[in-house]
Amino acid sequence: MKRVKRLLAFLLAFTLVFGSLQSGVLTVAAEENEQTMEADAGDQPEGETPANEENQEEPAEAAADEATSDEQAEVTEAAKDDPETTNELEEVQSDESEEVAEEVEASEDDSQVEEEEALEENAEETEEESDEPLVFEVTQDGVTVRISGTADALAGVASVSVSKLSDEKIEVYEEAFAEDDTITASKVIAAYDITLLNEDGEAIEPDGSVSVTITSDVLQEYLEEGEDIQVLHDTNTTVEAIEDDSIDNETVSTDALEVLDIESDDSGSIAVTMDSFSTVLFALQVSANNGTGEYTLTLADYAKSEFYDADVISSIAITEIGGETVTAGLKSYAANQGDEIVVTVTYKNGVTNAMAAVERSYTTASGATSKYVMPVTANEDGAACKTYGVEMPAGDTTISLVGLTYWEVTNTTLAITGSGKMPSFIASDETVYSPYHATYRDQVTTVTIGEGITRKGNYTCAWFTNLTELSLP
C-alpha cells in the first residue's frame, strides 16, 4: 500500500511539473505566434482579421485535455497491480454510480409528478367542460321555454316540444281547484305541456333536476299588475305516469298537482326547477281571508237559460250555506269565503235520466272571470242527479244553469245526448255517484257523447271495467 501511495505521489508531482513546463512552452509558443501575427497584421489590409487569431486558444485546450487523460490512464494502470487500490476505486465508482442512479431516480420521480399534475389539470378541465350547462330553447304558441342543466341530467335530449292546453282542459283543472280547499290557485292564466324528446322524437325525462324558464306576454301582464302567480305541475301526465296503467291520466287529481317554487321578474319570465316534464299550469292565487270576507251569492234566473226545459226541470235552489239550511227561492244570499254551498236541482216527476249542469262563476281580484261546473251526486234511489256542493270562493258568486244532458244505456252502449255542458260527478274509491255507474259499469263497452255537448264531465265513464270505445263529438 505504501508503494502505491509513493507511486501516486510521484505521479502527482510529475503531473504538476509537466503541467508547468507545458504551460511555459505553450506560453512561449503563444507569444511567438502573437509576434508573428502582429507582423503579418501589418502587411494585411485594414479591417481584416488574421485567421490564426481565431483558433489560438484551441491548442492549449487540447493539450490540457490530453494531459488529464494521460494522468487518469497512469493512475488506472498502477491501480491494477494493487487489489486494495482496486477495491477503493471500485467503491468510489460504486458511490458515483449510486449517486447517478439517485439523480436519475429523482429525475424520473419529478417527471412522474409533472405527468400526474398534467393529468389532474386535464381531468379538471374536462370536468369543468362537463359542468357547463346544456341549453335548449323553443318558442311556440306565444311562449318561450328555456331548459338548462348538466350534460348528465339532459343526456339523450335532442329537442323540446311545447304545446298550449285547450280551454276545455284548463276548465277541468279549474274545477279541480275549486273542489280541493288545499289548492290556493283559482284562475288558470296559462297552461302548457312541455316535453323533452330524444333523437327518435320519443318523450323522455331528465336524469336529475333542471332549470326551466318560461316567458310570455300573458305572464308579463299579470306580473306587472303585481298578481300572485302559482305554478303547478301535474305529475299524472309525466312519461312514467302515462305508461302506468293504474293511473287515470284523463281525470285531474289534485293530489297529483305539485306546487313549484318560482322566481319571477318584470320581463314576463318565471323560473322553476323540475325533474320531470308534462303539464305546467300558471294560476292566480286566491286571496285568503280566513273565511271572514263576506260576499254575495246570487242564483241566476235559470228559467231564462237557453238550456232550461220546463218539462224536465222543476226547480233549482240554493239550499245550504256553511252547513246551515237557508230559505229556498231567494235570489241572493250572504256567504263567506270557504263556506260550503249546496245547490239542489229537482226534476219533474217521471224524469230519471236528466243531468243538469250548474256553474259557479265569480270575478277574481284581477278582474278575470273564473267558471267552475259544480260536481253532482245522484238521488238516493240513483234515478237522477240533483245535488251540487262546493266551497264559496273569494268573490261575489253567481250560480247559473249551463247545460242539460240525458243518458241512456242500450245493450252495451251508453249514449249521452243533449246540449251545453255535462256535469262532473263525485267519486270515491272507484265508485262514481252518477245515475248509471253502479248498474252499468261492467256492462258498457262503448260510450258515445252526442253533438251539441260542449264539455264532458269528470268521471263520465271512469272505472268501466269493459270499456273499449269512447266517441266524442
Indicate if the pLDDT at residue 398 is higher than 80.
yes
- What pLDDT shows up at residue 36? 46
Alpha-carbon gap, residue 391 to 16, rounded angstroms: 120
| pLDDT, average across residues 355-383 | 78
pLDDT digits over 296-325, tens only?
999 999 999 999 999 999 999 999 999 999
Give residues with Cβ within 8 angstroms of 335, minimum separation 6. 294, 295, 296, 297, 321, 322, 341, 392, 397
Q: Residue 102: what pLDDT?
A: 60
Average pLDDT over residues 135-163: 90
Using alpha carbons, list the distances in angstroms from residue 442 to 150, 201, 409, 432.
49, 38, 12, 13
What φ, ψ does residue 194 adopt, rounded to 5°? -110, 130
Phi, psi (rounded to 5 degrees) for 161: -115, 135
Cell of 398: 253567481
Q: What is the DSSP string of 327-360?
A: -TT-SEEEEETT-EEEEEEEEPTT--SEEEEEEE
CA distance 359 to 369: 12
Q: Grid coordinates representing 45?
A: 489590409
The reported pLDDT for the residue numbered 228 is: 74
Q: What is the pTM of this model?
A: 0.49
Question: pLDDT at position 321, please?
Answer: 93
Residue 175 has pLDDT above 50, yes or no: yes
Q: What is the pLDDT of residue 166?
A: 84
Mean pLDDT of 421-430: 84
Q: Given this model, what pLDDT does residue 87 score?
A: 54
Tell me the mean pLDDT in the region 413-433: 88
Grid look-up 242500450 returns 410
47 backbone φψ class: left, alpha, beta (φ>0; ψ -120 to 50): left
Alpha-carbon gap, residue 377 to 425, rounded angstroms: 6
Instruction: Give CA–CA dist 99/167, Å, rounded.
Output: 87
Give me 35's grid cell. 509576434
Per-residue pLDDT reduced to its tens digit, 95-127? 555 555 565 566 556 666 666 676 766 655 555
Buried/exposed 330-342: b ≥16 CB within 10 Å, e otherwise = eeebebbbbbebb
